[in-house]
Amino acid sequence: MYLVTSEQMRYFDHYTIKTLKVPGIVLMDHAGKAVAEAVVKRRAKRVVVACGKGNNGGDGWIAARWLQHGGCSVHVVTVVDPGNLEGDAKLAFDMAGAANVSWNIYQPGDLGGSSIELLVDALLGTGCTRPLAGVYEQIVDEMNHSGVPILAIDVPTGIDASTGEVKGSAIRASETIAMAYEKLGTAVTPGAIYSGHTHVVDIGIKAPLPEGMASYVDPSELRQKWGSRDALSHKGTFGRCGIFVGHMQGAAILAAAGAARTGAGLVVLGTRGSISLAVLPDYVVRQAESPVSALEDCQSIVVGPGLGTDLEPLVGTASVDEMFSSKRGVVDADGLKLLRASNGLRRLNDGWVLTPHPKECANLLGWTTEQVQRQRLTAAMQLAERTGAIVLLKGYRTIIATPAGEIRVNPTGNASLAVGGSGDVLAGVIGSLIAQGLNGFDAASLGAWIHGRAGELAGAALTPISTTASDIVDYISRAIVTFFDGIGARN
């Protein structure tokens, strides 16, 4: 499912209106009617619609007209004098006025009626360009504190529809009705947290799609690229995934388990010393003075899980430089420290996937963790651009960014994944997919999806409270079954 920016949405609207000759008020009528239908589905009988100055407000006036038409008790509170409305929004107000929809100009402390069952946020949509202030801030705060559920039209007011940033007050909606496409800013956090459930409605917008649109990670797209295993295949067909084993061996073994369950032909553990933990006979263990040379024949390398202080001897060595320039793989956890170079950040190629959590991302960018969490999309895009690698920024609605600015957002996963070792499993899963031949962007996207679904399934069976990283590994197979739409992996 595509996720669009405000700018792309303006292009879609413009193309539909100018080239396809569909008047803007027709689109607005579809939008307002879809909102009214969503209100009716919620069985809300006493509804207040809060309208702003632009076309988002226009959608609100139209929704109010349809609600009145359907016999609902509806009232509009507007933050602007309707006499100052322009274009389609003015037309929408005229239609609502002719249908005798009641309204008043917002006065602080008066949301326009008692015993309201639902508030509709039609204050600002994709046109919101600055932090809320004045009357917009007042009404938004009042709506949020009213205790009444809020349905947002297109985008909750105060969210940047393109980036998900919230620079001040913003509507906390329980549901958002998105016009034509979900906006990128309601798919990623923090915007996603303010949007509640988002439903997309078709309002008749159509236009040729621009290249490289952002999307949710989509199994139907990735199914064509991964999973097929014909009868003549052998272990060499599915690649060797090498994993550095450092001081904290458990982390590397979890990564190995993730890699094996996701289908690498061979998982190789490269270590300088011996491995003291029990290792399943499924993996090959190789000892060498330089772990890089132990993994020389691997198609992908996972650097980081459990590396700890074993990293120091690796920093700046020729074998590590050689590995980054000639190999592909995953850099996670302590391995990310290898990316710091005297003149900034090391340049990699896009066969490498970096999997930082927000604090690691902040350390690499020289930002604070809070800044990364406020601007997750920008942070992921900047790190990808500066390193030349694919970046997977962990957290709810994990973001995967390419150096060229392509974005995917992972819809799977829940709190079951918030457990030590979960990130190590993810690194192994992605390393395995790279070893099997997927490019870094697809491997990171599919890896995030499978890992997230495995966490959901493990959490459903075992409760998120008691799910461990090993449980996530155990549920990878079932996640892969659901990836193939419940029909089982292809043979």
Ligand X SMILES: NC(=O)C1=CN([C@@H]2O[C@H](COP(=O)(O)OP(=O)(O)OC[C@H]3O[C@@H](n4cnc5c(N)ncnc54)[C@H](OP(=O)(O)O)[C@@H]3O)[C@@H](O)[C@H]2O)[C@H](O)CC1
Q: How many whole angstroms separate alpha carbon 294 and alpha carbon 301?
A: 11
- For residue 23, the SS3 value is coil
Q: Is 408 annotated as a binding residue?
A: no
CB nearer to ligand X: give 34 or 257. 34
Distance CA 80, CA 69 (A): 24
Among 24, 190, 306, 351, binds ligand X (CB under 6 A): 24
Q: Does 196 appear as a known binding residue?
A: no
Q: How far is CA 146 from the centre of its chain?
A: 29
Q: Looking at the chain, how many residues does it have?
A: 491
In the complex with K ion, which residue's Cβ is closer, 188 or 454?
188
Report what 442 binds from ligand X, K ion, none; CB cut-off 5-8 Å by kind: none
Phi and psi at residue 159, in whole multiples of 5°?
-90, 135
Closest to ligand X by CB, 202 or 282: 202
Sole window of 35-43, 108-116, 149-157, 381-389 interacting with ligand X (rule: CB under 6 A): 149-157
* 397 assigned to a ligand binding site: yes
129 is in an annotated binding site: yes
What is the distance between the alpha carbons of residues 252 and 424, in angstroms, rounded to a whole number? 7
> Does residue 157 have a known ligand-binding role?
yes
Contact residues: K ion, CB under 5 A: 56, 121, 125, 152-153, 157
Does residue 163 belong to the site contacting ligand X (CB under 6 A)? no
> Rule CB under 6 A: is residue 13 a binding residue for ligand X?
yes
CA distance 363 to 13: 40
Told to check if 82 binds ligand X by CB under 6 A, we report no
Helix, strand, coil % over all residues of the chain, rounded to 5? 45, 20, 40
Q: Using the rule CB under 6 A, is 467 a contact of ligand X?
A: no
Q: How far is the CB of 196 from K ion (least distance, A)?
A: 12
Radius of gyration of the chain (CA): 26
Record the tokens describing residue 103, joined without a space: 């309204």
CB of 154 to ligand X, least distance (A): 4
Q: According to the annotation, is 388 in a ligand binding site?
A: no
Q: Please tell me the distance from the alpha carbon of residue 396 to that of residue 448, in angstroms, as a whole number.
A: 11
The minimum distance between CB 174 and K ion, in angstroms, equals 13
CB-CB contact of 428 with 241 (8 Å): yes
Phi, psi (deg, nearest 5) at residue 245: -110, 115
Is residue 136 near ligand X by the rule CB under 6 A? yes
Instruction: By CB under 6 A, tell whether 64 contacts ligand X.
Output: no
Distance CA(399)–CA(441), nearest Å, equals 11
Least gap, CB of 251 to ligand X (angstroms): 45
DSSP of 406-444, one letter per residue? -EEE-----GGG-STTHHHHHHHHHHHHHHTT--HHHHH
362 close to 369: Cβ distance less than 8 angstroms? yes
Decide which of ligand X, K ion, none touches 27; Cβ closer than 5 to 8 Å per partner kind.
Answer: ligand X
Question: Which residue's CB is nearer to K ion, number 153 or number 435?
Answer: 153
Number of residues located near ligand X, criterion CB under 6 A? 26
154 near ligand X (CB under 6 A): yes
Query: SS3 for 310?
Result: helix
| Burial readout 7-46 (b: 16 or more C-beta within 10 A, e: otherwise) | ebbeebbeebbeeeebebbebbbbbbbbbbebbbeeebbe
State the helix-helix crossing angle for 24-41 and 55-69, rounded to 10 degrees. 50
Tell me the window of 22-30, 40-48, 94-102, 464-472 that interacts with ligand X (CB under 6 A).
22-30
Q: Which is nearer to ligand X, 178 or 331 (CB)?
A: 178
Instruction: Check: CB of residue 39 under 8 Å from CB of residue 151.
Output: yes
Closest approach of ligand X to the CB of residue 55, in Å = 3
Ligand-binding annotation for 308, yes or no, is: no
**Which amino acid would we find at residue 275?**
I
271 binds, among ligand X, K ion, none (CB under 5 to 8 A by kind): none
Nearer to ligand X, 121 or 332 (CB): 121
Give residues in contact with ligand X (CB under 6 A): 13, 24, 27-28, 31, 52-57, 59, 124-130, 132, 136, 153-155, 179, 203
**Binding region for (6S)-NADPHX:** 55-59, 125-131, 136, 154, 251, 306, 357, 424
**Binding region:** 55-59, 121, 125-131, 136, 154, 157, 251, 306, 357, 394-398, 423-424
**Binding region for AMP:** 394-398, 423
